[in-house]
Chains A and B, each alone.
Chain A
Amino acid sequence: MTTARSKGAIIGIGELRPQRRTEGVTTLEMLARVSAAAVADAGIEPYEIDGLLVGPQVGETPQHVPATIAEYLGLKPAMGNVVDLGGASGAGMVWRAAAAIQAGMCETVLCVLGNARDDNPPRSPNRNPIREFDVPFGASGANISYALFMQAHMARFGSAAEDFAAIAAWARHNAQFNPDAIFHGKPASVAEVLASPMVASPLHLYEIVMPVAGAEAVIVTSVKRARERGQRLVHILGAGEKITHRAASQAPDLTSGPLKQAMASAFAQSGTSAQDMNLLSLYDCYTIMVALTIEDAGLCGPGQFGAWLRGRDLSFSGDTPLNTHGGQIGFGQPDLAGGMTHIVEAVRQLRGSAAGRQIANPQLALVTGNGATVSEATALVLGAD
């Protein structure tokens, strides 16, 4: 593997253990704790952070989010921005950080996402086409949207409920090797996934992420600076992004998504292909999302993910390690930070520091992010140093 194409270095990661409830804790507090963990992991001082990328949803802080967080953390960044790509925000932050560094705007960027969780989350009034043209007909929330994609896949390709359930069963299996995962100690077989309550056909409860509180952070700097400081680094070798729609009803295709183009760009930039990857860290809000991503990556043909999965071992010690932290289906989904769990895990694996679940030969990892309803897509190819 070559790092000649490296456009940046991930030198620090932070992660808070997912929790179902965080009564009395603010999102800002969680962001501060996870940022401190990432700074400590990177072995840098807080004042070295001169770039800040944050998410749009900070509960109590609907506007001026970068300034609010920078002030709270005592940072005075030369670059601050909100990345608003739903579950693709984390991956979207990483290449934006590298680009801002290459543009000379800053040297070291904190990318941070997180959310507290109590029984009364603040909700903003919605005035958008989905609220006006989907909600009055009975379609509220993401579950129904992903069910529409899944039903279309089953109808077009004859993919079976068991094929999708296998993805959830592997996620639960992999969560058994991650003590922090919300489903640690709670594996689920294919039969148990299929026996879980139907939420919106054909989606069963265990095929859907569980919402949790949590926070994740990543620190990006230049390769030059990381080398000068002698830091452990993971290279950002390629990135791609694509946005095609917002509502499921307006999707140009119900059996393929924008990750197809995003991943193709990331592979082209890095001079790699899906088959070269030693770790697949694929955004998994629902089982259908992983199925679409396996096919869109070119790991198998359209409609073939079920056959591709059969006979494979997706665990850390298997032939095709996929979401070794349990994925969000096994780990829990801390809102937008859920997408960043795929980056944090890939960095752990590529550093060789994934205690208790280290993959063999950690050279290249594909990380995907997905936002809204198969709408916003970001792909990263990360490489070991």
Chain B
Amino acid sequence: MDLDLLKTPGPTVTALTAPFWAAAREGRLVIQHCEDCGSAVFYPRPICPHCWSERLVWKDASGRGRLKSFSIVHKPGHPGWLPIAPYAVGIVEIEEGPAMLSFILREPGEDLAIGTAVEMVPTRIGGQTLPAFRQKQSQERA
């Protein structure tokens, strides 16, 4: 089944997080950076979680990262995902530092491995464009 046709719950966007989702719609991954302590920040916040500065600015992320962990979900926690189960989710540590949970795209028969380099792939899921990831070697094969 096409991921785009899934009836899955979309993001609960707020004014603060709107720039992240607006960029996602354009196929970009943006995260906050603290102009005082230099930390990269994800998920979006009103103050830097490291130094509590309010001087946070949005910057494009490289979209590159590394798979920190993953799970193949056979029994989804939300029924909207049932049509495509089993599917993969993972924790991606992006190059800028923070970690984020994401959907992991797989080629048929492709195994996932912790530590593998991954790359962001804008993906239509449940009627919206979301930043999913896939392992780099699978992208080269494709």
Which residues of A pack against B, CB within 8 Å?
A: 126-127, 129, 131-141, 143-144, 147-149, 151-152, 155-156, 197-203, 247-250, 254
Contacts and interface: CB of A to CB of B under 8 A. Distances in A.
A256 to B, nearest CB: 14
26 contacts: A132-B14, A133-B43, A135-B78, A136-B10, A136-B130, A137-B101, A138-B78, A138-B81, A139-B73, A140-B9, A141-B78, A143-B75, A143-B77, A148-B69, A148-B70, A148-B89, A151-B114, A152-B114, A197-B75, A198-B72, A199-B75, A200-B71, A200-B72, A248-B91, A249-B101, A254-B91
B100 A155 contact: no
A133 B11 contact: yes
Given A127-B12, A144-B89, A133 B101 contact: yes
B46 interface: no
A200 B8 CA distance: 18
Nearest to B87: A138
Contacts of A137: 89, 101-103, 125, 130, 132
Contacts of B103: 137-138
Nearest to A252: B99
Contacts of A202: 71
Nearest to A131: B12
A127 B14 CA distance: 10
Interface string B54-82: 00000000000000111111111110010
Nearest to A202: B71
B68 A152 contact: yes
Does more than half of chain A's interface fall in helix, strand or loop, or is it mixed? helix
Given A144-B73, A155-B113, A199-B75, 12 more contacts: A131-B9, A132-B17, A134-B101, A135-B9, A136-B130, A137-B125, A137-B130, A138-B87, A140-B9, A149-B69, A201-B74, A250-B99
A138 B3 CA distance: 11
Q: Which of A135, A139, A141: most chain B Cβ within 10 A?
A: A139
Given A133-B43, A148-B69, A151-B70, A138 B8 contact: yes
Given A136-B10, A136-B126, A148-B71, A129 B76 contact: no
Contact of B114 (A132, A155, A197): A155
